[in-house]
Amino acid sequence: MANFTEKAIKESFMELLNDKQLSKITVKDISEKCGINRNTFYYHFNDIPDLLEVIFTEEAEKIINVDENASLYELLILAVDFSIENKTAVYHIFKSANREMFEAFLGRISEKAVSQLIERKAAEYNTEENNKRAIIQYYKYLLMGIVIDWLSNEMQYELQNELRRICDLFEGSMERALERGSV
């Protein structure tokens, strides 16, 4: 029953977030939308930022079991999938006081996606650990920058197309960096 209720709370919250700004959503709104009382909400979550953190954490965990043969583009799309699927909700979070929480979430999933690819490819080049870490940071912040730019520009372009274009333009740059950083 607890999992069902938590799921209902999360889904109701995301629906509300697609309709209005985060600062305009109350626990009462969420409770009414999913047909529970406020105490039930507080039994599962401390407050709305706690609910948001749980949603972000669960989304980040989805990246863990990625196909080991996934390309850079596939990993990047996986990392930004939540943002693409929930454009309006993410935009409302981005424009809210909880922006730092979203950026931390984006950083975690970006690093996880990029790390998996770098770790796999670095073995081929015998890349030093500190150089591998620098390459991971570079691609992590590149991805974060692209998503933040997309949100700052009110999602005026297709993020998938932009990621595809960037991956095509910089094809092989990761391998060159790994080779330069090898022992």
Q: By C-alpha distance, which of 164, 64, 147, 160 is closest to 113?
A: 64
- Position 66 scores a pLDDT of 64
d(CA 92, CA 88): 6
- Position 15 scores a pLDDT of 94
pLDDT at 44 over 90: yes
- Position 27 scores a pLDDT of 96
- Position 75 scores a pLDDT of 77
Q: By C-alpha distance, which of 114, 107, 115, 8 is closest to 60?
A: 107
For the stretch 6-25, pLDDT in tens is 999 999 999 999 999 999 99
**pTM recorded for the entire structure:** 0.81
For the stretch 113-168, pLDDT in tens is 888 888 888 888 999 999 999 999 999 999 899 999 999 998 888 999 999 999 89
* Spatial contact of 54 and 102, defined as CB atoms under 8 Å apart: no
- Position 33 scores a pLDDT of 95
Tell me the β-bridge partners of 127. 182
Residue 127, φ and ψ in degrees, nearest 5: -75, 135
pLDDT tier for residue 59 given thresholds of 50, 70 and 90: confident
- Position 113 scores a pLDDT of 81
For the stretch 61-119, pLDDT in tens is 776 666 667 777 887 887 788 888 888 998 999 999 888 888 988 888 888 888 888 88
d(CA 62, CA 70): 14
d(CA 48, CA 17): 11
